[in-house]
Structure 1
Amino acid sequence: MSTLALKDVEVNVTADDFNALEQRVLRAVELLKKEREARATAEQNAATLQQLLDEQSTQLTEAQEQVKAFEKERETVRRRVERLLGQLEEISA
Structure 2
Amino acid sequence: MSTLALQDAQLPIAADDFNELEQRVLRAVELLKAERQARAAAEQNSATLQLLLDEQSTELSRTQDQVRTLEKERDVVRQRVERLLTQLDEITA
Gapped runs of 5+ residues in structure 1? none
Taking the aligned partners of 1:76 and 1:83, their CA distance within structure 2 comes to 11
State the Cα deviation string for residues 39-67 of structure 1 (Å, max 9, x = none).
Answer: 11111111111111111111111111111
Alignment-mate amino acid for residue 33 of structure 2: K
Give runs of aligned pairs for residues 4-83 of structure 1, distance below 5 A: 8=5, 10=8, 12-83=12-83
Aligned residues: 88
Tell me the secondary structure at the aligned position of residue 13 of structure 2: coil
Gapped runs of 5+ residues in structure 2? none
Taking the aligned partners of 2:15 and 2:79, their CA distance within structure 1 comes to 95
Taking the aligned partners of 1:24 and 1:87, their CA distance within structure 2 comes to 92
Comparing 81-90 and 9-18, the one that deviates more = 9-18
TM-score, normalised on structure 2?
A: 0.81
Percent identity between the aligned chains? Answer: 68
Alignment partner, residue 86 of structure 1? 86
TM-score, normalised on structure 1?
A: 0.81
State the Cα deviation string for residues 7-28 of structure 1 (Å, max 9, x = none).
Answer: x573622221211111011000
RMSD: 1.9
Taking the aligned partners of 2:88 and 2:14, their CA distance within structure 1 comes to 109
Taking the aligned partners of 1:61 and 1:17, their CA distance within structure 2 comes to 65
